[in-house]
Amino acid sequence: SQQGEEDPQALSIQEGENATMNCSYKTSINNLQWYRQNSGRGLVHLILIRSNEREKHSGRLRVTLDTSKKSSSLLITASRAADTASYFCATDAGQAGTALIFGKGTTLSVSS
Amino acid sequence: DAGVIQSPRHEVTEMGQEVTLRCKPISGHDYLFWYRQTMMRGLELLIYFNNNVPIDDSGMPEDRFSAKMPNASFSTLKIQPSEPRDSAVYFCASRQGFRPQHFGDGTRLSIL
């Protein structure tokens, strides 16, 4: 069963624009992670934010976390055609040994 | 540094046949996960292991599915007998402790 739900399901933008994707989840978490999946490939980890953090940056990526609203957002600034991929949020419930539960993802298309 | 290796990359077989998917996790990783990805259901966790021991197999859809991890460097997911609704991309992932997961590139399975 999905814990995280991404919004929107699909997003199309031009190169240079910013892309924002949102994730909502249902239960308390230890951390939330974002992954990227290029077509025909496995998922690749992008960034992890812990439940006691509110914002985190990594290069052109900015992630926010609002535990009171059980939501997170991923912002990709100055997008490039190479950012075209599906993006997934995944939650870690925090108990020892639990697995990540993934949402259905947001498909991002960046056109040049 | 080799990543998670899955084989075969593609498998096409007729319904009723036995299918075996293979995974070699990253050396030193103590967790191994099997996921199934479809358009309709997204990325579903099937089963995961910790130190070669199955921890949670509640995501395994039916008794037709079985998974083993005979040692730290090898795992199999078996479907017997296979059905058309089993067609999906199957991913294996591994991780060390509570660090982010590393995914293989998946096995695209088509049951005719």
Cβ contacts of B48 on chain A, cutoff 8 Å? 99
Residue A97 burial by Cβ neighbours in a 10 Å radius (0-12, 13-18, 19+): exposed
Nearest to B43 among A48, A97, A102 (CB): A102
Contacts A–B by Cβ distance under 8 A = 47
Do B88 and B42 touch, CB atoms closer than 8 A? no
| pLDDT band, very low/low/confident/very high, at A92 (cuts 50, 70, 90) | confident
Nearest to A74 by CA among A56, A92, A91: A56
| Contact state of A45 with B98 under an 8 Å Cβ cutoff | no
Residues linked to residue B108 through DSSP beta bridges, in sequence order? B10, B89
| Contact state of B93 with A45 under an 8 Å Cβ cutoff | no
Nearest to A22 by CA among A85, A73, A90: A73
Q: CA-CA distance, A107 to B44, in Å (whole number)?
A: 18
| Contact state of A41 with B105 under an 8 Å Cβ cutoff | yes
pLDDT for residue A83 is more than 50: yes
| Contact state of A40 with B105 under an 8 Å Cβ cutoff | yes
Q: Which letter does DSSP use for residue B40 in this model?
A: T
Do B86 and B79 touch, CB atoms closer than 8 A? yes
pLDDT value at residue B19 = 98
pLDDT for residue B12 is more than 70: yes
Interface test with B, best of A2, A35, A43 (most B CBs within 10 A): A43
Nearest to B106 among A42, A44, A97 (CB): A42
Of residues A46 and A6, more confidence is placed in A46
Q: What is the pLDDT of residues A21-75, one digit of tens each?
A: 999 998 888 889 999 999 999 999 999 999 999 999 999 999 999 999 999 999 9
| pLDDT band, very low/low/confident/very high, at A1 (cuts 50, 70, 90) | very low
Q: What is the pLDDT of residues B33-79, one digit of tens each?
A: 999 999 988 999 999 999 999 999 999 988 999 999 999 999 999 99
| pLDDT band, very low/low/confident/very high, at A96 (cuts 50, 70, 90) | low
| Contact state of A88 with B43 under an 8 Å Cβ cutoff | yes
User: Around Cβ A75, how many Cβ atoms within 10 Å?
Assistant: 14
Q: What is the pLDDT of residues B71-104, one digit of tens each?
A: 999 999 999 999 999 999 999 999 998 889 999 9
Do B105 and B22 touch, CB atoms closer than 8 A? no
